[in-house]
Structure 1
Amino acid sequence: MVETWQGTPPPDHPPLGLRDWMRVLRRGAPLALLVFGGLLVLVLIRLVEKPFFGQRRPVTPFVTQAVCRAAFVLLGIGYHTQGTPMRGPGAVVANHVSWLDIFALNARKRIYFVSKSEVARWPGIGWLARATGTVFIRRDRRDALSQIALFRNRLQAGHKLLFFPEGTSTDGLQVLPFKPTLFAAFLDPALRADLQMQPVTLRYCAPTGADARFYGWWGDMGFGPHLLRTLAAKQQGRVRVIYHLPVQVRDYTDRKMLARALEDRVRAGLAG
């Protein structure tokens, strides 16, 4: 069972006024059209792509990238990257701050998220996740063998698998200890020899004058209210995606050591 990080209580926000709702409509309507229109295009392309390429997706990931880049333009949130995404198949780990992470991480590089199985049943979000090739797993050590087989198949198809080792989202001001459970699958002899893992740091900067945790989504915060508050912001902030140098999995013999090494790099990126 993944525990939700509670942290300190989020700040109270006044009810949305008329101008706030106007900004919600001005940003939200085009964003919804972009996301669901892009999803429709992706599904139609996938109908042709799947019979010829199976697990490989030579075209549809570019649709996802284009949608995610355009989303930041519509939201008015500044988007910047630093460093170089690794080439070839492998795994990526990042700190988890918000639902905005999905857009931030997809906008620069083609990746496939590893998510808990419950997400597949979430209304709307589950549909989007399935369409974009998300890998659904149960976070249970008893499923280790099936996870290894699943990861091997996706990596052999050239996919980059991304997961959030903290296991929950935070306020964006800290990095929680990485849970080592999923790292064990990547240390399997069938995968580790040529596998790389790249740590990535997500740094959100709140709008001027707003609480530093403005984009954080944690505790009992609902998705709807957080989305509305983000859309209603009079002034937006920015996000920076920092790609650190990848590590070679074969250099580590223990899942805890591997998790800690990647955690240290992500944490240093947030502190820096």
Structure 2
Amino acid sequence: MAQRAPKGWDWLRVIRRGVPGVLVIAICLVILLLVRLIERPLFGQRRPITPYITCFVCRSVIWLIGFPYEIKGRPMRHPGAVVANHASWLDIFTLNAPQRIYFVSKSEVAGWPGIGTLAKATGTVFIARERREAKLQQDLFEQRLGAGHKLLFFPEGTSTDANRVLPFKTTLFQAFFSEALRDQSYVQPITVNYHAPEGEDPRYYGWWGDMDLIPNVLHILSTPKQGRIELVFHDPKPVNSFENRKVLALDLEETTRAAHFSEISTSKPAK
């Protein structure tokens, strides 16, 4: 899919949306780090204040970019994890705006310039996606859930063209079947639907394949009139009602996909 390259007056739109967004992120990051200086010695891993700053930033960025934003259902209050389909870098803002969550990310992200700093500041859980690390992941999940954190990860393992849901990988679900977590953990599936601007390719907001990040960001910021974002919060699933991680992952995948395609199928095709 050809991405929109800003031309002429498009750059004013990019500046009008992008500069305030960067300022909000930068200013709130400083505030978050200062609050964390007090929060950490008082509460340790628990974060009773700083997640609200993250939610504010994400809501602000979505508003500044110009997205109408619709939510169906509600975030769960149970301990455990949240899983969602992964279509874009926008998912970070889209999923963090209405709920206090902590993303689970591959360990390499911690070293990325800028993004790694933001991820570490907001409490992202960094893991190595290897079977030999399964016990370490389980211990880390137990520690974070014990601190009252709700974890979010993308079981597809990669972002897509926003027009499909890939099969869910099962490895990370194994941690929730440990003795310490199985009987007290829930997993809530969320379907993220990006509706393209009228007349555009349904994959308009997807970020996949060999697409570079900066051109994709400019593509979205320069859009004259945005489409809309829709989040569907499904009923939480108790882990102990499933036989194993594969059965749980398949159930979550089917739930996520059903809402995704029922919504996408009602969208107008691109002209």
Aligned to 1:192, what secondary structure does the other structure show?
coil
Name the residue aligned to 2:52.
62
Aligned-residue offset at 1:14: 5.8
Aligned pairs, how many? 262
Alpha carbons 2:68, 2:227 under 8 Å: kept? yes
Letter in structure 1 aligned against 2:179: P
- 1:84 partnered with 2:74: yes
**Equivalences for residues 60-209 of structure 1 within 5 A:** 60-209=50-199
Q: Deviations over 1:96-142 (max 9, x none)?
A: 00010010111001000000001111111111000000000000110
Q: What amino acid is the match of 2:169?
A: K
Q: 1:252 & 1:189 partners in 2: Cα distance?
A: 14
Could you give the per-residue CA deviations for residues 213-255 of structure 1, whole angstroms, max 9, x where no partner exists? 1110000001100001111111111111110001110011211
Q: CA offsets per residue over residues 151-173 of structure 1, 9 Å max, x none?
A: 00100111100000000000111
- Quick check: 2:75–2:233 contact (8 Å CA) kept in 1? yes
- How far residue 16 of structure 1 moved from its aligned partner, in angstroms, is 2.1
Is 1:252–2:242 an aligned residue pair?
yes
- Distance in 1, Cα, partners of 2:167 & 2:201: 24
* Whole-Å separation in 1 of the counterparts to 2:37 and 2:255: 40
For residues 51-96 of structure 1, what are the alpha-carbon distances to aligned partners after superposition, in whole Å with 9 as ceiling and x for unaligned? Answer: 0001000000000001111111100011111001100321000000
Between the aligned partners of 2:36 and 2:107, the Cα distance in structure 1 is 22
Counterpart AA for 1:220: D
The residue that corresponds to 1:217 in the other structure is: 207
C-alpha deviation, 1:269, in angstroms: 1.1
Which blocks of at least 5 consecutive residues in structure 2 are unaligned?
263-271
SS in 2 for 1:191: coil
Task: Please give the secondary structure, in 1, of the residue aligned with 2:71.
Answer: strand
CA RMSD of aligned residues (A): 0.9
1:181-223 deviations in whole A, cap 9, x for unaligned? Answer: 1111111111111110000000000111221111100000011
Per the alignment, in what secondary structure is the counterpart of residue 259 of structure 2? helix
Identity of aligned residues (%): 56
**Aligned counterparts of 1:208 and 1:42: Cα–Cα separation in 2:** 38
Q: What secondary structure sits across from 1:92 in the alignment?
A: strand
Q: How has the CA–CA distance of structure 1 residues 15 and 115 changed in structure 2, closer, same or farther, with 3 Å as cutoff? A: closer
Q: 1:255 to 1:208 in 2, by over 3 A?
A: same
**8 Å contact from structure 2 (residues 5, 215) kept in 1:** no
Partner Cα separation in structure 2 for residue 127 and residue 88 of structure 1? 29
Contact 1:30 1:74 in 2 (8 A): yes
> Partner letter of residue 158 of structure 1?
G
- How far residue 17 of structure 1 moved from its aligned partner, in angstroms, is 1.1
Return the letter of the residue paired with 1:40: V
Residue identity opposite 2:181 in structure 1? L
In structure 2, the partner of 1:3 is none
Partner of 1:52: 42
Partner of 1:71, secondary structure, is helix
Q: Describe the shift of the 1:13–1:56 C-alpha distance in structure 2 as closer, same or farther (beyond 3 A).
A: closer
Letter in 1 for 2:257: R
Displacement of 1:256 in angstroms is 0.7
